[in-house]
Amino acid sequence: MLQRTCNTILALWFIFPFSFGFCEEETFYRDVAIIGGGASGTFAALKLKEQGKSIIVIEKENSLGGHTNTYQDPGTRQTAEYGVQVFHNQLVVRDLFKRLNVSWTIAILQDDPFPPRFLDPKTAEPVHYSSPNATAALGAYAAQLAKYPDLERGFFLPDPVPEDLLTPFGEFLQKYPDIQDATFIAFSYGQGLGDYLKQPTLYVFKNFGLDIVRDISSGFIVTANHNNYDIYARAAEVLQRDLLLNSIVASTTQRDDNGVDMNIRTPNGNTRVLAKKLLITIPPKLENLGHFALDHCESITFARFNNTGYYSSLVNNTGLPQNFTAYSVSPDTQQNIPILPGVYNVVPTSIDGVFAIKYGSPSSLSDDYVKREIISYVKKLQANGHANPVSGDPTFVAYANHDPFELTVSPAEIARGFYRDFYSLQGYRSTWYTGAAFHTQDSSMLWRFTDSYVLPPLLKSFGS
């Protein structure tokens, strides 16, 4: 009975959208409800609004931005990014920044300003390793990428999927030794992939693609004031009342060709969203989508995803000298790629005494565990003589858990056509998707993907 009433309201609203505006004070009637206000959700919201669609963004945190983490030192006002750092020099990025009045500049990421140390992530002891000149190997890597130009646009895979893309990356490296000297640089840029050498080559290629190879030499876009959070603060000003922060979908009473009817838990109590379309931008793991009334077809698709773990932090009171930079390498692995879980790197920030420390894992870990491991690693650095004496333990200035980070499926699933099936969910039951699982962990690339492949058919589905 309830279901039938909802169906009737939605059907009538679809025909007479404006006459229902007065219906219930706490009900939002919208063209599109967007779940998640990270890179993809925020971009989609701005674009849909520009196209004259009414929208609402439902974001579980107290701000937009997802993996964007900017810390500002309360004393000096200096900032340190411990999430998203750089953007591609692409039209979609320049247009977005112009729209939001965000100033930017080009940064060529030079070699580290201070000679890095290469340390074993388990012991924090030096490993005999010297980073190779990667120029020729990067060229050979780019030539491999160029065989699959559609991968730059999305998970648009040849059919059948070439064996090379399914092969664990470690084996791919053995097959193509001319790219081996680029492994460490690809690993460093493509953090968050978990067990790097065992991942199907497809995911390494998606993570470290031609745009990154190009921008390494020609430069990335960075915000002029070194505050990436500004992008999202300005977006929030544009979206204003179309934004429900600290809010999640508590239940979905209807999701079909007529639209969606959802109950939202907000800090001010429960509210209801009736929307003609739903755009999901959060990682599509089953545990994230439990309240969206998934059907069998959706459930079995999303259930196939595994995820890696990725954690970022700012730590002070370490005693490390301000120019201390360390990368983890293993003494006895292929190309010295470290075995995770473990610390990726320790790099200084522009805030005196504050170091950025990243940590990765093949699967999710608890925050307590990761924090303990990071502190234990810093203590090993201290014990190994890298730091000056300090009193007290290292402390976290900031910490972010980015789980679930990289969503992957097995090579057998990829070969069976997983990504074809995954993409075929677009538009099913009035629901559309974007976000990293649909393309890659890269804000700029996701903006381009959303702009080119998600919003046009979504808008077209309105019949306008």
Ligand X SMILES: Cc1cc2nc3c(=O)[nH]c(=O)nc-3n(C[C@H](O)[C@H](O)[C@H](O)COP(=O)(O)OP(=O)(O)OC[C@H]3O[C@@H](n4cnc5c(N)ncnc54)[C@H](O)[C@@H]3O)c2cc1C
User: Coil, strand or helix: which one is 363?
Assistant: coil
And the tokens for 428? 């099913």
Measured from the CB of residue 294, what is the shortest distance to ligand X in angstroms? Answer: 13
Give the per-residue contact string, 286-325, with ligand X (x = CB under 6 A; - = no): --x---------------------x-x-------------
* 186 contributes a contact to ligand X by CB under 6 A: no
CB of 83 to ligand X, least distance (A): 5
* Residue 372 structure tokens: 């303990």
Q: Can you read off the two tokens belonging to residue 342?
A: 């473990």
* Segment interacting with ligand X (CB under 6 A) among 1-9, 77-85, 106-114, 321-329: 77-85
On whether the CB atoms of residues 129 and 76 are closer than 8 A, the answer is: no
Least distance (Å) between residue 223 CB and ligand X: 11
Which SS3 state, helix, strand or coil, does residue 102 take? coil
With CB under 6 A as the contact rule, the residue among 17, 54, 60, 131 that binds ligand X is 60
Tell me the closest approach of the beta carbon of residue 21 to ligand X, in angstroms.
25
Closest C-alpha to 82, from 443, 441, 350: 350
Compute the least distance from the CB of residue 1 to ligand X, in Å. 29
Q: Considering only residues 83, 219, 319, 342, which one is a binding residue for ligand X as defined by CB under 6 A?
A: 83
- Residue 95 exposure: Cα atoms within 13 Å on the Cβ side: 11
Residue of minimal Cβ distance to ligand X: 38
CA distance 177 to 20: 65
Asked if 248 is part of the footprint of ligand X (rule: CB under 6 A), the reply reads yes
Query: Binding-site residue total for ligand X (CB under 6 A)?
Result: 32
Largest CA distance in the chain: 73
Would you call 343 helix, strand, or coil by DSSP? strand
Choose, by CB under 6 A, the member of 13, 32, 48, 59 that binds ligand X. 59
Which span (129-137, 254-262, 412-420, 433-441) binds ligand X, by CB under 6 A?
Answer: 433-441
284 binds ligand X, rule: CB under 6 A: no
The span from the CA of 272 to the CA of 33, in Å, is 11
Residue from 10, 32, 55, 58 touching ligand X (CB under 6 A): that is 58
**b/e map of 36-51 (b: 16 or more CB within 10 Å)?**
bbbbbbbbbbbbbbee
CA angle (297 as vertex; 292, 302 as ends), nearest 5: 65
40 or 316, CB closer to ligand X?
A: 40
> Where on the chain is the footprint of ligand X (CB under 6 A)?
35-41, 58-61, 66-67, 83-87, 248, 281-282, 288, 310, 312, 402, 435-436, 441-444, 446
